[in-house]
Amino acid sequence: MQEKTKVAIIGSGNIGTDLMIKIMRLSKVLHMSAFVGIDAESDGLRRAARLGVKVTACGIDGLVALPEFSAIEIVFDATSAGAHRRHSDILLKHGKRVIDLTPAAIGPYTIPPVNGDANLDAPNVNMVTCGGQATIPIVAAIHSVTPVHYGEIVASIASKSAGPGTRANIDEFTETTSQAIMDVGGARRGKAIIVLNPAEPPLMMRDTVYCLTGDADTDAITAAVENMVAQVRTYVPGYRLKQPVQFERIGHNSPLRIAEMDEAFSGLKVSVFLEVEGAAHYLPAYAGNLDIMTSAAMRTAEKIALRMAEKVAA
């Protein structure tokens, strides 16, 4: 049996802690070697220490100083877009592969069921955002049937599931997700909105996708969306359609004005309503935003690890 690939996580907040637990419980390919933060009293670092993972509260510099660092091959960054730029430079200089869970977007956008195999040799891959991971597969599914003139997504997550890093990156979230809707989803224009829902008890992650297309086969679009949902569910079991795909025909006599494009649109409006229930590896099941992001990152890391092993064997 192939030896597991050693990995480290930088960022001891909600996303990093959920990812650590997920890797330790589920991955047959990855081994947790180090967990990195900047607050020695953070719940994530204390939990990692209890689980027997090597920890440091000295950030990236502390990671590089660990004896375990030389054997680590893949490093996940779950900090912030600003911090990731420095982290990436240091890690790439040391020959590490980097998986970016911030909206920094230094490396290529990666959405597992859409372009998951395209970037396995990239030194740094970007996992977009939780909203992007949930919605861009749907935009891409619709685009596989008919060109998408405009794609807009609204991601609503429980306020309790958004830690300081997420809150500090709201602008980057919208910009990165909007760009990935175009670059990966295939839309001519993209827009992203995030809502931190303060409701009590906390609500599960909800995502709405609106796409404007030309006249197209609605049955084919529905089939493509349902097939894509099934693909995402292979690694995020709590991902599901909340209701059947909705269609609205917009006639030439009453076109829809798209302010961002300064254009009038007539054709087909496709609406898809999603819910993401988390696996509750760290926060409760309402935190589907953690689950879809960390699941996508782990799936990507496992594919990269297998690709690296194939190259060594060859």
Calpha distance 187→102 (Å, rounded): 22
Query: Any idea which residue has 């599901």 for tokens?
Result: 240
Which secondary-structure segment (H or E) carries 223? helix 218-233
Torsion of CA 34, 106, 108, 99, to 10 degrees: 0
Relative orientation angle of helices 130-143 and 170-183, to the nearest 10 degrees: 20
Catalytic residue among 29, 32, 130, 204: 130
Calpha distance 307→17 (Å, rounded): 26
Q: For residue 211, indicate whether it is catalytic.
A: no
Calpha distance 37→221 (Å, rounded): 44
Q: Are 39 and 57 in contact (CB under 8 A)?
A: yes
What's the chain's length in residues?
A: 314
Which secondary-structure segment (H or E) carries 211? strand 205-213
Contacts 24+ apart (CB under 8 A), 50-54: 51/20, 51/24, 53/20, 53/24
Catalytic residue annotation: 130
